Structure 1
Amino acid sequence: MTDEPQPQPQIAVNLPPEQEIGVFADFAAVWHNPTSFVIDFLSLVAPPGQQQLGPDGQAVPVVSARVAARVRLPAEQIFRVIGALQEQADQWLAQSGKEEPPEGWFPAG
């Protein structure tokens, strides 16, 4: 038996041709349960047209959206995903010369 570290397994990623284009999403909703995190990527299907009453009794516009894709991740994996997203976002900001969008840039909050 040796004390040498074991090599980490590598993951060979294969993307089926029918998924190469991906799906478009306007925004994402994130939620969790005790064992996993779920990211629902949502696409708007109609402009705001309806309204409903909010908790304060004020009319609130309702934006209709459909789940374009749902991704479930083991809870332990979410922190790597957050780190990878932050790294890619920082690179994109540096490469594009753009700034992060201001708070409230999307009508639904």
Structure 2
Amino acid sequence: IKKVQEADVVVFASPIYYYDICGQLKTFLDRTNPLYGQPYRFRDIYLITVSADDAPDTAKRAVSTLDGWICCFDKARYAGGFNAGGMSEANVAGTHPEWMQKAYELGKSI
């Protein structure tokens, strides 16, 4: 939690399950409850998701879930991200250079 508190930028990554973030990320967000009301450095929050579905709105609920967490930090904002759709099998990221490039470009822009 201290690393999040002291971070300049926070980037979360999650597979999409049933059109939302995975349980592990949700549990992590819940466990950051001690940060509420404490000083923190981060301002920009990003979310990268991966899903089998490649529809443009696949990550809509995931972003909404994260936004609920961000709303608890008045100086923070959702700064962007993307969903890497079309990944229906394990270990196929390397066959989707477009998503690898997009992740690289996002990282460079931060």
Common fold by TM > 0.5: no
The structure whose Rg is larger is: 1
Q: Which has the higher contact order (CA 8 A, sep 6+)?
A: 2
TM-score, length-scaled by structure 2: 0.22
The structure with the greater share of residues assigned to strand is: 1
